[in-house]
């Protein structure tokens, strides 16, 4: 669990690295490699299998703020 504080009753977001930044996307279903998903900040990304190094990428601030807002709305 990468962001335990953001997952009180199930995930509020899925996170995937894209071009060196980790973006969040709505938890409509687990991201499947090859799938196109829209991130909170408005990008459309192709889901890839992330390597260990990619998981260390910085988090997109726009996506993080949106994920926090969604978590707060659940509490
Ligand atoms: Zn983003």
Residue 34 in any domain: the answer is yes
Tell me, what's the pLDDT at 55? 82
Residue 45 in any domain: the answer is yes
Number of structural domains (the chain) is 1
Q: How many angstroms is it from 29 CA to the middle of ligand 1?
A: 18
**Residues 74, 52: Cα–Cα separation, whole Å:** 30
Residue 36 in any domain: the answer is yes
Whole-model pTM above 0.85?
no
Give the environment of ion ligand 1: residues with CB less than 5 A.
23, 39, 41, 60, 62-63
Residue 3 in any domain: the answer is no
13-68 pLDDT, tens digit per residue, is 999 999 899 999 999 888 999 999 999 999 999 998 888 888 889 999 999 999 99
Composition of the chain by helix, strand, coil, percent to 5: 25, 25, 45
Tell me, what's the pLDDT at 5? 56
Q: Within 10 Å of residue 25's Cβ, how many Cβ atoms?
A: 24
Whether pLDDT at 1 is above 90:
no
């Amino acid at each position: 669990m990468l962001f335990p504080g953001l997952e009180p009753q199930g995930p509020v977001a899925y996170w995937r690295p894209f071009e060196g930044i980790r973006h969040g996307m709505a938890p409509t279903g687990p991201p499947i490699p090859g799938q196109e998903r829209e991130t909170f900040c408005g990008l459309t990304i192709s889901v890839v299998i992330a390597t260990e190094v990619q998981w260390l990428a910085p988090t997109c601030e726009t996506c993080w703020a949106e994920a926090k807002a969604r978590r707060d709305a659940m509490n």
